[in-house]
Amino acid sequence: MTRRAAPSGRRQGGAALLIAMLILTLVATVASAMVWHQQRAIEVETAERARAQAGLMLAGALDFVRQQLAGQTRGAFPPQGWLGKLPESSLAALLAADRDNNADSTVDAYLSGEIVDAQSRYNLRRLFGDDGKPVIAEAQALGRLCDAAGVSADVLDRLLSGLTSAWITRGENAVLAPTRLENLSWLGIDGDTLTRLKPFVDILPVRTAVNANTAEPPVLMAAIDGLTLADAQRLSVSLKREPAANMGRVRSQLPPGLATDDARVNVQTRFFDVTARLRADDRVLEERWLIERRPSERGVDMVLLRRDRRSLNEVGT
């Protein structure tokens, strides 16, 4: 009988070994899943912390830019030194109050970007008067600009029709109102056309005049009736070399017989388009701010009107 029990004992031992291996496999699987979930949670927390830190850094950079613009735009025209591309600089060096804070800072982040006078571009709001009716002179001005930018003539008709539907018509078939240049794609404007228009056209919250000091030749040609592109180029070069403090100097450089309307072109600016790019480690975050300069009892306030953010996957994208 002892010999008959031996095979049964071996089978039981084999089954026990199999169960032990299954239990070991199950424990290893559960442990591996727990480790993965923990690692994933750490990665998510790290990413959230980095995102929050980047947001705080950009908020600090925004305050810095607003303070600088408020202090630099008290005259009739914005100084050329604060317009254009901003070279990459250490954020700690820009925001720290003194050298000791810079030395102790552990933040390895760099800020670059660009400040553009938004009134250096033609504001599409000018196509319609305060009464909501299309302005023929402005439609003609935009036509000259489109021609100088190499944009087909039918684009003007689409813009006038689409913007009328968006801003004036409030019926059932009204188009969603665009608030920035990129939104013109809603009106059927293709990407190549938007690229051609981007240096010269913008959409601001209210009707604004073109700043002659910072406008490019096609924009000056649009804002001043009768001005040729060649004359606009000469005027642009002269004003960028030595900005005019008043419209008298601008008028003195126009060809005989041409007049200007201060409501269409002047030498003042209220709106600034700022692009800020933050680079920290292998992450790049970019924000675009529309800032308005408003007179106040304290002197001047720099009001943030619009803030757009996008994340760039690779440095240098």
Residue 290 and residue 314 in contact, taking contact as beta carbons nearer than 8 Å: no
Rounded to whole angstroms, how far apart are CA atoms 33 and 26? 11
Residue 112 lies in a domain: yes
Q: What is the pLDDT of residue 107?
A: 57
Residue 60 lies in a domain: yes
Answer with the residue of higher pLDDT: 16 or 127: 127
Q: Which domain, by its residues, includes 115?
A: 1-126+199-317
Out of 26-30, 57-61, 176-180, pick the least confident: 57-61
Answer with the residue of higher pLDDT: 260 or 60: 260
Residue 209 lies in a domain: yes
Rounded to whole angstroms, how far apart are CA atoms 199 and 203? 12
Residue 296 lies in a domain: yes
User: What whole-number percentage of the chain has pLDDT above 90?
Assistant: 37
Q: Is the pLDDT of residue 232 over 90?
A: yes
Residue 180 lies in a domain: no
Residue 139 lies in a domain: no
Answer with the residue of higher pLDDT: 57 or 111: 111
Contacting residues for 160 by C-beta, under 8 A, at least 6 apart: 127, 134, 139
Residue 239 lies in a domain: yes
Tally of domains within the chain: 1
Residue 21 lies in a domain: yes
